[in-house]
Amino acid sequence: MPGHISICHKESKSLIVGDALVVENGELVIALPQYTLDMNEARNSVEKLLNYDIDRIICYHGGIYTKNITETLKKI
């Protein structure tokens, strides 16, 4: 997604998503629309994150998310 970058650190099973996802009120949500050029492309990008074996998502906004990652990404 233009304007966003994600990095997978395999050894720690961590995915650094920058602004592609955010944690708001303890929940993982897609990038905020006011900072996203194309929400459909953002959803497509999130779907690609399901290909990674991860235990934690590190967001620039909201910190670290570790609850039911696969299920949460599918809902987004």
For every residue of 7-32, which 3-state class applies, written as one string? EEEHHHCEEEEECCEEEECCEEEECC
Q: Is the pLDDT of residue 9 over 90?
A: yes
Arithmetic mean of pLDDT, 2-6 = 70
Q: Give the pair of three-digit tokens for residue 75.
A: 């809902």
pTM of this prediction?
0.84
pLDDT tens figures, 10-49: 999 999 987 789 999 999 999 888 878 888 888 888 899 9
Predicted confidence band at 73 (pLDDT cuts at 50, 70, 90)? very high
